Amino acid sequence: MIHMSKSLIHGVRGVLSILFYTVNTVVCCTALFIVALFKLLLPVKPIQTGCRRLLTAIANCWIGVNNLNQRLFNGIHWDVQGLDDLDPKGWYMVVANHQSWVDILVLQNVFYRKIPFLKFFLKKELFWFPLLGQAWWALDFPFMKRYSRQFLKKHPHLIGKDLEITRRACDKFRHIPVSVMNFVEGTRFTREKHARQRSPYTHLLRTKAGGMAFVLAAMGDKLQQIVDVTIAYPQGAASFWDFVCGRVKEVKVRVNTLPINSELMGDYLQDPEFKRDFQNWLNSLWHEKDRHMATMLAS
């Protein structure tokens, strides 16, 4: 009986929270689309820059209301360390491990008004996600088409297409402060993927360094620091439904800032030595993150 009552309470909490998210998203997306239409129809640089600032302000309002939603319905204990000395007017490269779609809500909550609005690299198919896909487009999120190695062997003219898209996106990112976000594992962690990859880490998947290397090559002179984020769920990776129902009791986040030096900027596609060195550097960072994860989950 008690278990049924708790399940009912969690279910009601989840429905109310999703309703809150939905209303907030519809209102903010409507405002976004109006401003995006002006940006599209008036291709004058000062107007475009002003529209981008307004679009970002609307997106930050959306995050602020989502954070209020989480405080009202989710009852999460946030254990966050390492947010000192971050600048909401700076330019950052943000990297994190990836376990759940909840990670995005966690990152937006933790970094709200601490660093500029997070911009993600998204799969092209996500453009068609109702409301949010078009909102991401309006906010200049880059959409990437992922090709397999086998496909690229048959269509070599598409090699480097991601780099071209990244460069175009980074040109837009130079005009107002931004945090460029990259889940360098490329996909969410599961035990099946971990086993299939024969990952050398206990809690993480193998890294895919290309996207991060492309951004640093295109924007390294503008970016101030790399913000390395480790996210841990002591109860296990959270589903979105568990999150909105308040079943996720604790989220641990550790933030570490790293300098960007010339050794991290190079031609990842054409320079084999740089590619090897960059991959080794990222693998070393991931080994350290794996140790952090073990400590965070054990404590």
Tell me: the pLDDT tens digits for 208-267?
998 899 899 888 888 999 999 999 999 998 899 999 999 999 999 999 999 999 999 998
**Pick from 119, 81, 143, 112: which is nearest to 223 by CA?**
119
Strand order across the 250-259 sheet: 77-81, 250-259, 225-232, 92-96, 179-182, 118-120
Q: 77-298 domain in CATH 3.40.50?
A: no
Residue 144 has pLDDT above 90, yes or no: no
Residue 92 has a CB neighbour count (10 Å cut-off) of 24
Mean pLDDT of 156-161: 63
Residue 177 has a CB neighbour count (10 Å cut-off) of 19
Residue 194 has pLDDT above 70, yes or no: yes
Residue 175 has pLDDT above 90, yes or no: no
* Every domain of the chain and the residues it spans: 77-298
Q: How far apart are CA 260 and CA 226, in angstroms?
A: 7
Give the CA radius of gyration of the chain.
Answer: 20
Task: Output the pLDDT for position 138.
Answer: 92
What is the sign, positive or negative, of the torsion defined by CA atoms of 101, 107, 110, 111?
A: negative
* Residue 84 and residue 65 in contact, taking contact as beta carbons nearer than 8 Å: no
**Pick from 74, 151, 142: which is nearest to 106 by CA?**
74
